[in-house]
Chains A and B, each alone.
Chain A
Amino acid sequence: EAGVTQFPSHSVIEKGQTVTLRCDPISGHDNLYWYRRVMGKEIKFLLHFVKESKQDESGMPNNRFLAERTGGTYSTLKVQPAELEDSGVYFCASSQDAGPFANTGELFFGEGSRLTVL
Chain B
Amino acid sequence: AQSVTQPDIHITVSEGASLELRCNYSYGATPYLFWYVQSPGQGLQLLLKYFSGDTLVQGIKGFEAEFKRSQSSFNLRKPSVHWSDAAEYFCAVGPYNTDKLIFGTGTRLQVFP
Contacts and interface: CB of A to CB of B under 8 A. Distances in A.
B35 interface: no
B105 interface: yes
B48 to A, nearest CB: 11
Contact of A91 (B43, B92, B102): B43
- Please tell me the size bucket of the interface on B: 20 to 34
A81 interface: no
A100 B105 contact: no
B100 A56 contact: yes
Given A100-B32, A100-B49, A44 B42 contact: no
Nearest to A46: B100
A112 B43 contact: yes
Contacts of A112: 43
A106 B46 CA distance: 8
B104 A59 contact: no
28 contacts: A4-B43, A33-B100, A35-B103, A42-B104, A42-B105, A42-B106, A43-B92, A43-B106, A45-B101, A55-B99, A56-B98, A56-B100, A59-B100, A93-B43, A98-B99, A99-B94, A99-B99, A100-B49, A100-B94, A100-B99, A101-B32, A101-B94, A103-B51, A107-B46, A108-B43, A110-B43, A111-B41, A111-B42
Interface of A: 3-4, 31, 33, 35, 40-45, 48, 55-56, 59, 91, 93, 98-101, 103, 106-112
